[in-house]
Amino acid sequence: MSNCLICANTYEPFMSFGQMPIANAFLSPEQFPSEYFFELQVGFCPTCAMVQLVTQPDREMIFHENYAFFSSTSARMEAHFMEFADLVIKGYIQSADPFVIEIGSNDGIMLQHFANSGIRHLGIEPSANVAQVAIDKGIQTITRFFDEQLAREIVEEYGQADAFLGANVMCHIPYLHSVAAGVKILLKPDGVMIFEDPYLGDIIEKTSYDQIYDEHAFYFSVASVSYLFEQHDLEVVDVQPQNVHGGSMRYVIAHQGAHPVSSAMVAQHVKEDTLGLRSAETFDGLRKNIEHSRDALINLLRNLKQNGKRVVGYAATSKSTTVINYCGITPDMVEYISDTTPIKQGKFSPGMHIPVRSYETFKANYPDYALLFGWNHAEEIMAKEQPFRSAGGKWVVYVPKLQILE
């Protein structure tokens, strides 16, 4: 039994993935002995429908000056955030001198479009190394964690915001009530908060359990997000499904009564009722599907190893940490993981210590199989890797189900 971080009622954990390291803590051999592990466990709340981690490691262990995730490593995501910025500029900020804030602004992948258009902006990004990349691009950034206290300081210094944005960051923040209270203070009377995160409905439908790792404290639905903001006299006025990161949902939040509620909102609530997000049966089913997915993948990898096939991981995503450690994928099954991020190269994957090598290593000597840890970027990657397939290379994909693509 645990207490829900959103509604404070008790809830039941429905699954443990066992001991897990920090998903983005790529490490060197001298750090192996002191590697940090915690029990990765998730539960759902029958009262407010929030799915959440039972325990979270301290935020300073995850977000710091050596944070390994740089947003601008995917061309698809670059295009996505250009569209997101464009939507905000054309549809949501009408005042004469608009002010836009983004939390988790990372290397400036989205804010650069506001900066380039001469729009007043502010990034809030606690991981100093990625924040510095944005600052070097001329994007105004504060290196701090966002919360209610910081919201007060911002209002005092810069005034209220027309738009408060976030992508793949709200679900990272355990103290969401402080964030929502901050949003209430920060938004102009007709201002909006727009944020997006991986959507619980997609995780259930695709068994994409690798979305579950230390950084993701929450797995949102329209039901749970609505519950949260209602406590702060804010409301969700629109939802827009997004075809990125394996299925995300964008939420538009406003002061209660300030904007009309869209028909998409109503439709999504109805859809979620059929998913059964408050029912133990739904999450029992998810757990069983996860166990099947693990068994299928590990059996295939054992088989390939027995047959002397070379298997290489493609993209050392945060999600891969859950798959590798939960399934028990060892360096004798997966020779190395190819990744384009310099800070990850030459290091070892958290927990199982599979080497991470440069993309050039992959291109220089194709393996028999590439295990697609970056399945959320499949379209972009498959298009780029036609030569691998032409050379006889095969893909192993495990979401939504195990498949070999020849």
Binding residues (CB under 6 A) for ligand TMP: these are 73-74, 315-318, 339-341, 344, 359, 374, 376-377, 380-381
Q: Which of 17, 69, 92, 366 is in the footprint of ligand SAH by CB under 6 A?
A: 69
- Whichever of 18 and 342 has its CB closer to ligand TMP, that residue is 342
| Helices 280-306/318-327 angle, 10° precision | 80
* 323 burial via Cβ count (<10 Å: 0-12, 13-18, 19+): buried
Of 26 and 283, CB closest to ligand TMP: 26
- Position 357, amino acid: R
Site for Zn ion contains 45 (CB under 5 A): yes
CB of 312 to ligand TMP, least distance (A): 12
Strand partners, 122: 101
Q: Which of 6, 27, 49, 103 binds ligand SAH (CB under 6 A)?
A: 103
Interacting positions 115-154 with ligand SAH (CB under 6 A): 124-127, 130, 145-146
CA quadruple 32, 33, 36, 40: dihedral sign: positive
What is the full DSSP assignment across 226-247?
HHHHHTTTEEEEEEEEE-STTS
Count of residues of this chain found to bind Zn ion when the rule CB under 5 A is applied? 7
Are 301 and 329 a contacting pair, CB within 8 Å?
A: yes
Q: Which is nearer to Zn ion, 9 or 403 (CB)?
A: 9
251 binds ligand SAH, rule: CB under 6 A: no
**Binds 374: which of Zn ion, ligand TMP, ligand SAH, none (CB < 5-8 Å by kind):** ligand TMP
- Indicate left, alpha or beta for 198 from its phi (over 0: left) and psi (-120 to 50: alpha): beta
Q: Which does 163 bind (CB under 5 to 8 A by kind): ligand TMP, ligand SAH, Zn ion, none?
A: none
Rounded CA separation 290/296 (Å): 10
Dump strand ranges (E) for 129-168: 141-142, 161-167
**CA 204, CA 272: separation in Å to the nearest integer?**
11
> Per CB under 6 A, does 173 bind ligand SAH?
yes
Choose from ligand SAH, Zn ion, ligand TMP, none: what does 48 bind? Cβ within 5-8 Å by kind: Zn ion
Stretch that binds ligand SAH, among 64-72, 186-194, 201-209, 283-291 (CB under 6 A): 64-72
Give the nearer residue to Zn ion in terms of CB position, either 47 or 240.
Answer: 47
Q: Which tokens hold the place of 184?
A: 């209430």
Among 121, 172, 188, 232, binds ligand SAH (CB under 6 A): 172
**Residue 320, amino acid:** S
Residue 252 β-bridge partners? 194, 238
Q: What is the gyration radius of the CA atoms in the chain, in angstroms?
A: 21
C-alpha span between 206 and 203 (Å, rounded): 5
Minimum CB–partner distance for residue 363 and ligand SAH (Å) = 25
Rounded to a whole number of angstroms, the minimum distance from the CB of residue 219 to ligand TMP is 16
Partner interacting with residue 7 (select from Zn ion, ligand TMP, ligand SAH, none; CB below 5-8 Å by kind): Zn ion
d(CA 98, CA 111): 14
Does 47 participate in binding Zn ion (rule CB under 5 A)? yes
* Side chain identity, residue 117: S
Residue closer to ligand TMP, measured from CB, 155 or 382: 382
Count the neighbouring beta carbons within 10 Å of the beta carbon of residue 231. 14
* Cβ partners under 8 Å of residue 381, min gap 6: 314, 315, 372, 374
318 belongs to the binding site for ligand SAH (CB under 6 A):
no
Q: What is the largest CA-CA distance in the chain?
A: 67
Please tell me the count of residues contacting ligand SAH according to CB under 6 A. Answer: 20
Minimal distance, residue 109 CB to ligand SAH, in Å: 6
User: Toward ligand TMP, which CB reaches closer, 142 or 316?
Assistant: 316
Residues in contact with ligand SAH by CB under 6 A are 63, 67, 69, 71, 103-104, 106, 109, 124-127, 130, 145-146, 167-169, 172-173
